[in-house]
Copies of this chain bind each other. A is one copy, B any other.
Amino acid sequence: MKQRLIIDMDDVMADATGQFIDTYEKEFGVRVARESLNGKTEGAGWPHPQEVLYQFTFRPQFFRTMRVNEGAQEVVRQLNEKYSVFIVSSAMEFPNSLREKLDWLKEHFPFLHWKQFVFCGSKSIVHGDYMIDDLPHNLDTFGGRRLLFTAPHNMQFTQYERLNNWREVGALLL
């Protein structure tokens, strides 16, 4: 039986940080440098308070139009042969995101089946052998091997094994 591998979407498969930067630039005319966000918790490091960025997540198309992170498609395609892959995303807070995330997955990862997708509120409900996530609090409740995917907002955390990009994911798991 294949081992179960759980993969997050935002800032793992999808470039959520890039989407925030692009949306912020369109809205306020200022392009925030990705590197300037390093080591700052989500929402910190921006000229406006976190509440302003939070509003972006309720806008139609915000989740639908995210770019795919470099290497994600090819590595997930290979992982999908070796593991029982589940894509698990904390989508429930953002009602628009549900359909948009499903459509995004179907567009960019057409080799995955809808049976492999999970949209939840709390990731404590899922179980498996590996979890790749950018948020330490999602890894905290996981019973398997916990892998922190590097994003600007998690640079300061050291408690979990870190994977800096999809090349490193492939090197570890393939």
Contact = CB atoms under 8 A, between A and B. Distances in A.
Interface stretch (A11-19, A22-30, A94-102, A156-164): A94-102
A122 B116 contact: yes
Interface in A83-104: 86, 88, 92-93, 95-96, 98-99, 102-103
Interface stretch (A38-46, A71-79, A124-132, A165-173): A124-132
Contacts of A125: 4, 6, 86, 88, 118, 126-128
* A-side interface mostly: mixed
Interface centre among A95, A114, A125 (most CB of B within 10 A): A125
Nearest to A119: B119
A86 B123 CA distance: 11
Contacts of A118: 92, 118-121, 125
B99 A95 contact: yes
Copies of the protein in its oligomer: 2
B119 A98 contact: yes
A67 B92 CA distance: 22
Contacts of A121: 113-118
Interface of A: 4, 6, 86, 88, 92-93, 95-96, 98-99, 102-103, 113-122, 125-128
Closest 6 CB pairs of A and B: A115-B121, A98-B98, A127-B127, A92-B114, A118-B120, A115-B122
